[in-house]
Amino acid sequence: MRTFVIGDVHGCLNDLLAILEEINFTVGVDKLISVGDIINRGPNSLETIRFFKQLDSSFDMVLGNHDLHFLAIVHGAKNPTFKDTLTQLLNAKDLDDLVGWLQAKPLVTQIKNYSIVHAGIAPQWDIIKALSLSREVEITLNSENSGHFLNQMYGNVPDSWNENLEGMTRLRVITNYLTRMRLCTNNGELNFTDSDPNLESHRFLPWFKHRIKHKNEKIIFGHWASLNGNFCAPNIHALDVGCVYGGKIRVMNVDNKVLTDYKSAYAQH
Ligand SMILES: [Mn+2]
């Protein structure tokens, strides 16, 4: 049994199938974990989510901001935007099954020695803390409060974690770190405006530059296509290489750290 983690798929079903063929992925034997953003922006969100779901116990994932955006639309908390490519999925006859399946997914998970998260882990949290905060969101997403949470989820304030945060504000801040973060200060103040990893700033750096205290923790993440999968820091692996933007799709074998890239056949821009 081999264990692979795959970067952002964004509904690019053909690229997904091609790279799984390239690594000779065997359902029922091998395991695939997604860093989230399995849907939206690309051409085949419906078939992509159906494909992942039918992999059953050969598949696991964490939620990305686009997966949460879809759930927010389903719950009437958000309207689709002109950039969304979710119409077919939103009209699917098996929508309820797909939503129930997706909504049960966590924001952080662990496989072997790795933690998998969509965007990143706040500088002030170790993995144990991140897992427990992810659990708070997961419990709410799977309770009768899920619609209320998805309504309150959007917003950039407060921009920093504080242990005393409560209720929906607390869950919003947790979600922002785990699914939207790119740049932050060393005490975790989030920058929601910039996405340039080389931003000339004394304060804001890519989140993984602030994990010196936790440098032995191994993290795999997606979300930040403009990093282009380049080296981040020891033990930190970026897997989003922008397949939906005409880039590549990437999988990492966590047993030997071997990366496989497949050049996307899909170019949106
Ligand atoms: Mn994302």
- 123-163 pLDDT, tens digit per residue, is 999 999 999 999 999 999 999 999 999 999 999 999 999 99
Ligand 1 centroid, distance to 34 Cα (angstroms): 12
In this predicted structure, the answer to whether residue 267 has a pLDDT above a threshold of 80 is no
- Domain presence at residue 223: yes
- List, as own/partner pairs, every contact residues 140-146 make where C-beta atoms lie below 8 angstroms and the sequence separation is at least 24, other chains included: 140/171, 141/71, 141/103, 141/104, 142/103, 142/104, 146/71, 146/75, 146/103
Per the structure, the complete domain to which residue 145 belongs is given by 3-263
Mean pLDDT of 36-65: 98
HSE (CB half, 13 Å, CA atoms) of 77? 17
In the prediction, which pLDDT does 228 show?
Answer: 94
Please compute the mean of the pLDDT values over residues 19-32 and round it to a whole number: 98
Block residue for tokens 């969101």? 137
For ligand 1, the distance from its centroid to the CA atom of residue 110, given in whole angstroms, is 19
| C-alpha separations of 54 from 27, 50, 65 in Å | 10, 6, 22
Q: Give the integer Cα–Cα distance in Å for 143 and 68.
A: 15
Between the CA of 256 and the centroid of ligand 1 the distance, in Å, is: 26
268 pLDDT exceeds 80? no
Residue 248 lies in a domain: yes
Q: Specify if 124 maps to a domain.
A: yes
Q: How far is the CA of 202 from the centre of ligand 1 (A)?
A: 25
- Give the pLDDT of residue 269: 42
In this prediction, residue 114 carries a pLDDT of: 98
* pLDDT confidence bin for 48, thresholds 50/70/90: very high
CA of 207 to the centre of ligand 1 (A): 15
**What spacing in Å lies between the alpha carbon of 214 and ligand 1's midpoint?**
23
d(CA 176, CA 174): 6
Number of domains, the chain: 1
pLDDT tier, 265 (very low <50, low <70, confident <90, very high otherwise): confident
Taking the centre of ligand 1 as the mean of its atom positions, its distance from the CA of residue 180, in whole angstroms, is: 7
In a domain, 168, yes or no: yes
Output the CA 246–ligand 1 centroid distance in Å: 16
Asked if residue 10 belongs to a domain, the reply is yes
Residue-wise pLDDT tens digits, 165-194: 999 999 999 999 999 999 999 999 999 999
CATH of the domain at 26: 3.60.21.10
Residue 112 backbone dihedrals phi, psi, to 5 degrees: 55, -130
pLDDT in tens, 76-123: 999 999 999 999 999 999 999 999 999 999 999 999 999 999 999 999
Residue-wise pLDDT tens digits, 213-262 = 999 999 999 999 999 999 999 999 999 999 998 899 999 999 999 999 99
Ligand 1: centre distance to CA 221 (Å):
10
pLDDT recorded at residue 175 = 98
Q: Is residue 268 part of a domain?
A: no
- Looking at residue 201, its pLDDT comes to 83
Q: What is the pLDDT of residue 199?
A: 87
**Ligand 1: centre distance to CA 179 (Å):** 7
> Which pTM was predicted?
0.97
Local confidence band at 202 (pLDDT 50, 70, 90 cut-offs):
confident
Would residue 128 count as lying in a domain? yes
For residues 218 and 214, what is the distance between their CA atoms, to the nearest angstrom? 9
Q: Does 213 fall in a domain?
A: yes
Query: Taking the CA atoms of the chain, what radius of gyration do you get in angstroms?
Result: 17
Interacting residues of 54 by C-beta distance below 8 A, sequence separation 6+: none
Token reading at 177? 């770190």
- Distance between Cα 113 and ligand 1 center (Å): 23
Spacing, Cα 219 to ligand 1 middle (Å):
16
Res 23 pLDDT > 80: yes
